[in-house]
Chain A
Amino acid sequence: MTKLSEGAIEALSNGTGGNDAVLQLVNIRKIDGGSGLPRFRVMMSDGLHTLSSFMLSTQLNFMAEENRLAPNCVCILKKHVTNILKDKRRVVIILEMEVIKSAEDVAGRIGEPTPYTEGKAAPVCYSISHSALILQNVNHPHQNAGSHISTNMTRFLFLKAPSAMPSTPGDNSKVVPIASLNPYQSKWTIRARVTNKSSIRTWSNSRGDGKLFSMEIVDESGEIRVTGFNQEVDKFFSLVEVGKVYYVSKGSLKIANKQYTSVKNDYEMTLNGESSIIPCEDDCDVPVMQCDFVSIGDLENREKDAIVDVIGVCKSVDEVTRLTTKSNREVSKRTLNLMDMSGKLVTVTLWGEEAEKFEASGQPIVAIKGAKLSDFGGRSLSASFSSTLMINPDIPEAYKLRGWYDKEGHAMDGQSLTEVKGSGGGLTNWKTLSDVKTEHLGHGDKADYYTCIATIVYLRKENCLYQACPSQECNKKVVDQHNGMFRCEKCDKEFPNFKYRLILSANIADYADNQWVTCFQESAEAILGQNAAYLGQLKDSNEAAFDEVFQQANFNTFVFRSRVKLETYNDESRIKATVMDVKPVDHKDYSKRLIMNIRKLAAQ
């Protein structure tokens, strides 16, 4: 039976020796270390005592991974260093160790060792693993031992017991995952990175004034929204920086108000007088951002007003423009186009400072967390004040996109989900007239817009013209006073003249169905090929010519952009369709689309 170095454990624990100690390995445990490297914790015995606060230095990981360090094997501790934690506990880092007897050759536990304690109450196990987690930079090629290594040792970042925490042994370094937070437990500490911090917002209402700020924090298990009011704003706002990791404890939890946030957590946190936020230096475990990216191609399938995360290559960006809002505030706006591997393109709108600061050079990878999906122009995204914009983020999805883009993506034109104002490129949301009925377009709260190709099969020429107020902006129907004057109720004025305006009721049809639509001035003039004033003249003077216009206009095919909405009139609900825009058919575009649809159908 191999002789173990009795007393070595005590010596190692006190830092008084232990060199070349012959020890038996009692237990070995793998711990997830920082920076992706696993760490191994071992419990060694000298026949008298066992001590579990041994850590294998990473250069010896291979021994554990090759199963050389199995329980019961006997080893010589050739080189080690002892480190003392802030709370006086010791950790022995094994730098070099040789197995002199493998586990199979050893019968069992040598002697009857008992755990060596230094008089500290709590068993050393759990808390140390956390501190061990933070051991970094052990993996230095230790060409010269001794002093070289000891200086490296000082770079180890150990758990700083946050001073605000009650110093119950074993409790002060216990970090729980964000996913486990709930309103029924109050003594917890989490360690998380701030991904988003809002600016201080103030309000003033009948109950008084107040200010708040909010932030989102993330750890390996999830994310949560944190809000601080009034005094907490003063305490914490300047302390917290986006991108840094903090220990947060004793916030109050309540059910999340999902209306304000896209953060995935049933609860949200409010900071109170007892809460503490302490910076944490070791942040390699904590993920930088938790994003659930939606492919741009999928955005079509998402509901409007949904909050999504997206990532894509910024293919193009427009200039910053300034708008004045309804409340007469000036705000900057900028749109950019994002494309991802689905080949689809979407327009993203940035506002305010983000719009102004955006650096567009070189088609960067842009990721947005919490962007709002709107059905403006089909599908488009807006970066609201609660969205986070990241340029060339350091995450795997970004690298994947970059690689794809450099290889194929840059040559693709991308199919835009957002309708571009003006002709041609980007008209989306094609429907057939039967789709309008089967999909119940217009039945929702908001009107639906769609585009279709259809042929005019009937034009109602009776009552297509009305007399309207001659004022520039006003189109209200005027009342004929029969004294040569015409009165406009809206402008509250009388005029000696009027202008003719068109409201054309038409029936349009395609292969699937037909539909009654109303066309106003511009669309009606486009369909009839004459302006309203001339038509009014014709109607009064030359009936035959007037009829001829309608005859000619009949059976022409156009591209219609229509708006449809369910309207209730005296207990009766009917779908009303209005033509917003009429365009001649672009046959090339139409052919391409048909071919694409045919191919799609054939593939099904």
Chain B
Amino acid sequence: MEGILDVPKPRITCGMLSQYIGRPVCFVGRVEKVHPTGKTFTVSDGEGKIATVELVCVLDEELSGVVEVVGMVSNKGAIMASTYNVLREDKGIPFDLELYAEALKVIHEFPQHYPFEVAASG
């Protein structure tokens, strides 16, 4: 789990989940529904598609709004979250999820200009 923090984690949308199975990714989306057990919840991306996030530890607080999840993509296309952080809506400029999705499209369309494989220095 600690290993995931040193590795480049491409930002993806739901549509790209299947291409990143078994790889660490960073996913930003809006919390849709939290499962009663608190171990899993769904998120929607900028294009409106839904993905499932599975947590190692149970949620200890009510989750809502836009959240950034870092984790591995499972065979089933769910994200096994190592860590997450909430982008607070009450502070600063509200996060524009649609614009984010647009930007991601550009990044993935031109990988030659946006290389993910930059080695972390020292």
* A residues at B contact (CB < 8 Å): 587-588, 591-592, 595, 598-599, 602
Contact = CB atoms under 8 A, between A and B. Distances in A.
Given A587-B93, A588-B93, A598 B106 contact: yes
Interface in B81-122: 93, 96, 99, 102-103, 106, 109-110
Contacts of A599: 106
A587 B93 CA distance: 9
Contacts of B96: 588, 591
Chain B binding surface, main DSSP class: helix
A595 B93 contact: no
A591 B102 CA distance: 9
B77 to A, nearest CB: 27
A259 to B, nearest CB: 49
Contacts of A588: 93, 96, 99
Given A588-B99, A595-B106, A599-B106, 16 more contacts: A587-B93, A588-B93, A588-B96, A591-B96, A591-B99, A591-B102, A591-B103, A592-B99, A592-B102, A595-B99, A595-B102, A595-B103, A598-B106, A598-B110, A602-B109, A602-B110
A598 B103 CA distance: 10
A592 B100 CA distance: 10
A591 B109 CA distance: 16
17 contacts: A587-B93, A588-B93, A588-B96, A588-B99, A591-B99, A591-B102, A591-B103, A592-B99, A592-B102, A595-B99, A595-B102, A595-B103, A595-B106, A598-B106, A598-B110, A599-B106, A602-B109
Nearest to A596: B102
Contacts of A595: 99, 102-103, 106
Nearest to B105: A595
Contacts, number: 19
A595 B107 CA distance: 10
Contacts of B103: 591, 595
Interface in B44-103: 93, 96, 99, 102-103
Nearest to A592: B99
A89 to B, nearest CB: 75
Contacts of B106: 595, 598-599
A173 to B, nearest CB: 67
A423 B102 CA distance: 24
Contacts of A598: 106, 110
A299 B81 CA distance: 53
Nearest to A591: B99
A52 B7 CA distance: 96
A592 B103 CA distance: 9
Nearest to B113: A598
Contacts of A602: 109-110
The 6 closest A-B pairs by CB, nearest first: A595-B102, A598-B106, A588-B96, A591-B99, A595-B106, A588-B99
Contacts of B110: 598, 602
B100 to A, nearest CB: 9
Contacts of A592: 99, 102
A285 B22 CA distance: 76
Contacts of B93: 587-588
A558 to B, nearest CB: 16
Nearest to A601: B110
A28 B102 CA distance: 67
A47 B103 CA distance: 86
A591 B110 CA distance: 16
A602 B110 CA distance: 9
B104 to A, nearest CB: 10
B76 to A, nearest CB: 32
Contacts of B109: 602
A35 B118 CA distance: 73
A595 B104 CA distance: 10
Nearest to B109: A602
A598 B102 CA distance: 11
A588 B92 CA distance: 12
Most B CB contacts (10 A, CB to CB) among A587, A591, A602 go to A591
Nearest to B99: A591
A599 B107 CA distance: 12
Contacts of A587: 93
Nearest to B96: A588
Nearest to A587: B93
Nearest to A588: B96
A246 to B, nearest CB: 59
A508 B7 CA distance: 35
A92 to B, nearest CB: 74
A595 B105 CA distance: 10
A587 B110 CA distance: 21
Most A CB contacts (10 A, CB to CB) among B93, B99, B110 go to B99
A595 to B, nearest CB: 5
Most B CB contacts (10 A, CB to CB) among A595, A598, A602 go to A598
A588 B110 CA distance: 21
A602 B105 CA distance: 13
B53 to A, nearest CB: 25
